[in-house]
Amino acid sequence: MSRTGTIIALRHGAMTLTAAPHIGGSLASWSLSTPGGPVDLFRRASDHALAGDFAPDMACFPLVPFSNRIGGARFVFQGREVVLATDPGSPHRIHGHGWSNPWTIEAAADDALRMGFAHRADDWPWSYRAAQTVALDGEGLTVTLDLINESDSDMPAGLGLHPYFVRSPGSIVTADLRGVWDNDDTILPSRRRPLPAAWDFRHGVVMDHAALDNGFTGWSGTATLDRPRDRLRLTMIADGPVGHLIVYAPPGEPYLCLEPATHMTDALNRPQEPDAGVIALPAGERLSMTVRFLVSRI
């Protein structure tokens, strides 16, 4: 493990990972050394992101205490109305607190790092503590997120992870998914439907011309990204109460995101959905999820 300013580098075998705890607990890069030179596994952070504090231009960042959007930045939980500040350029609140605040270094080794973040009650009227542990090994990368409710009442709780994968030509995504939510004009779910043929990830979808920012339901917890040009396969395995996958593939960009989440987008305003995924986390209790990223050759 080495440090350059506040950027921390982890290494294990042929893999190198860099983290920027001060930029939303983000990862800045994850790469594999090969005889032909280093190959990026996650999209590398931009110079702009590294010079400032803009997590969306990083390689991966945590989503706590909720994933994606809360519609209108307001909801009712156990009879309590909560009104949040909206995010710039959006009528909603997006991705929680972790991505827009610095995290602290709690422990570090050559191939592992634990970061922490604490939130004190404000317009989100619950206090909580979060931890993110990242570790390299001979097979790949493991990211574990923990969320502990430090309030004296139930807190609505959710977790997610926002990795940016390299989308090289011919990249194929395969995942066991059962349905998809269409979006309205503000990217809130509007209609659930079966998988259309173009998005039937159960049989693999070539991502070259895909344009998505949608939530998928019934996820088994496993997804693969094949990069035939690089002869690489990345297998993502999520462990925990994780049944939702957000697929974000903006047109014309050399990256795509496969975001595991414990709940659907705008879950706090969807009590009628049996699989919305909202968790009422009791005082003092912990919610955890672990995501493994395995690297292999194809």
pLDDT averages per 10-residue partition of the chain, 298 residues: 73 97 96 94 92 84 98 97 94 96 96 98 98 98 98 98 97 97 97 96 96 97 97 97 97 96 98 95 98 96
Q: What's the pTM?
A: 0.96
Domains recognised in the chain with CATH numbers: 8-297 (2.70.98.10)
Give 38-90 pLDDT, tens digit per residue: 999 999 998 888 887 677 899 999 999 999 999 999 999 999 999 999 998 89
Three-state secondary structure along the chain?
A: CEEECCEEEEEECCEEEEEECCCCCEEEEEEEEECCEEEECECCCCHHHHHCCCHHHCCEEEEECCCCEEHHHEEEECCEEEECCCCCCCCCEECECHHHCCCEEEEECCCEEEEEEEECCCCCCCCEEEEEEEEECCCEEEEEEEEEECCCCCEEECCEEEEEEECCCCCEEEECCCEEEEECCCCCEEEEEECCHHHCHHHCEECCCCCEEEEEECCCCEEEEEEHHHCEEEEEEEECCCCEEEEEECCCCCEEEEEEECCCCCHHHCCCCCCCCCEEECCCCEEEEEEEEEEEEC
